[in-house]
Structure 1
Amino acid sequence: MGKSINLAVLILAAGTSSRLGEPKQLLNLKGKSLINIAIEKALELTSNVTVVLGHKNDEVKKEIENKNINIIINPNYEDGMGNTIAFGVSNIKEEKVLIMLCDQPLIPIEHYENLIKLSNENKDKIICSQYKNQHAVPTIFPKKYFEELKKLKGNKGAKQLFLKYEPISIVLADNYSIDVDTKEDWQELLKNS
């Protein structure tokens, strides 16, 4: 599959990792930081990759500044995921955006490619992942949803758009969907990788 020209990937990496106690962006899995694993996957999909940083952005920026990506810093990252999505989407010019997290390193590249393929076939629909019986990121939003994404606030991510618009979803096995919020999550992820 070739790279998507009209697609931007937005990697959310601004959080404080408060429950983990250290920046999860920099956790090391098989010799690579989680942020670098996310960026490498994103660059396989498109050359339009934007990373949103916030907490400890100087440290994280050092890790990724040699990559061919856009790095933006959300000054209000402490306001939560909704605020970071809104800030990130405000910087996207392409026709659609794939929102991914930096702390889900086990998601296979095929899953992202399947989301893109489905999005190309259903241009106006939100295409999301489904695991643990709910709709979740990674998700592709066409441009017609950008204005609503830019209004997100606080800790509310894009879930309200899922409820409102009935996205098309692709099931992702629960063991691939592990995201790192706590030390226990990290141990679980290491077991599964």
Structure 2
Amino acid sequence: MFVTGLVLAAGASVRLGEAKQLLPYRGRTLLDATLDLARSCGFDQLLVTLGGAAERIRERADLTGVQVVENADFSTGCGSSISTAVRVVDARADGLVLLLGDQPGVRAADVRRVAAATTPLAVCRYADGLGHPFWFARAVLPQLRVLHGDKAVWKLMHSGRHPVTEVPVDGPVPIDVDTRADYQRLLAGEAP
């Protein structure tokens, strides 16, 4: 299988008040940690969307081995990042795994399990609910091109248009950083 990974990192971090992608995390940036996770998954193509702080991210984050997709409409929600990125997915791709750039606690083994789903859509079923990463088979990619808003992928997941596999994953949904409190919780979970 040929699998494309997509890391969403175009947001303006409005609730946090600064570029969350560049927050310090384990001696680097939060986005670096997520990109390291994505690189460890063995994707055949790895994309990252940038928008709000694109210039500063390019200066400070390690984008080695990653194809950057700029999203000029980043302020309209993550749907615009997905629809922009899907346009550059390799023609050989059997599907796409969607990761959040501010969620470094996802495990590579769980990413691989989601990507192995035999249904058009798959999502992780954590102990406390559904969460990223998501899997979208090639047949679904045209629908990703027309997404709008922040919860567009969730609406697609719950639309009933496609069978969805819920992949069981141990533990709670990994923290994604939207607020200062989320960031503090993420840091508090680090080993001393």
Could you say if the C-alpha distance between residues 191 and 176 of structure 1 is closer, same or farther in structure 2, counting changes exceeding 3 Å?
farther
Pick from 178, 182, 187 the counterpart of residue 179 of structure 2. Answer: 182
Q: Which amino acid aligns with 2:188?
A: K
Could you say if the C-alpha distance between residues 176 and 134 of structure 1 is closer, same or farther in structure 2, counting changes exceeding 3 Å?
closer
Could you say if the C-alpha distance between residues 19 and 56 of structure 1 is closer, same or farther in structure 2, counting changes exceeding 3 Å?
same
Pick from 4, 7, 24 the counterpart of residue 8 of structure 1. Answer: 4
Deviations, residues 64-114 of structure 1 (Å, cap 9, x unaligned) = 365111011001111111111111112112221101001111112221122
Mapping of 1:1-193 within 5 angstroms?
6-45=2-41, 46-64=43-61, 67-93=64-90, 94-116=93-115, 118-119=116-117, 122=118, 124-131=119-126, 133-163=128-158, 164=160, 165-173=162-170, 175-193=172-190
Task: Measure the CA separation in 2 of the matches of 1:26 and 1:108.
Answer: 21
Displacement after TM superposition at 1:175 (Å): 4.2
The farther-off stretch of 107-116 and 10-19 is 107-116
Task: Measure the CA separation in 2 of the matches of 1:171 and 1:130.
Answer: 5
Q: Number of paired residues?
A: 185
Higher helix fraction (1 or 2): 1
For the residue of structure 1 that corresponds to 2:152, the secondary structure is coil
Task: Measure the CA separation in 2 of the matches of 1:28 and 1:127.
Answer: 31
Which structure 2 segments of 5+ residues have no match? none
Q: Which amino acid aligns with 1:38?
A: T
Which structure 1 segments of 5+ residues have no match? none
RMSD (Å) for aligned C-alpha atoms: 1.8
Task: Measure the CA separation in 2 of the matches of 1:63 and 1:159.
Answer: 31
Could you say if the C-alpha distance between residues 29 and 65 of structure 1 is closer, same or farther in structure 2, counting changes exceeding 3 Å?
closer
For the residue of structure 2 that corresponds to 1:139, the secondary structure is strand
Q: Which amino acid aligns with 1:97?
A: L
Deviations, residues 10-64 of structure 1 (Å, cap 9, x unaligned) = 0000001111111111112111211111111212222411110000100011223
For the residue of structure 2 that corresponds to 1:22, the secondary structure is coil
For the residue of structure 2 that corresponds to 1:71, the secondary structure is strand
Cα contact 1:175–1:192 (8 A) shared by 2:
no
Give % identity. 25
TM-score, normalising length from structure 2? 0.88
Task: Measure the CA separation in 1 of the matches of 2:175 and 2:71.
Answer: 25
Q: Which amino acid aligns with 2:46?
A: V
Question: Any runs of at least 4 consecutive aligned residues in structure 1 with deviations exceeding 6 A, and if so which?
Answer: none
TM-score, normalising length from structure 1? 0.87
For the residue of structure 2 that corresponds to 1:158, the secondary structure is helix
Q: Which amino acid aligns with 1:6?
A: F
Q: Which amino acid aligns with 1:75?
A: A
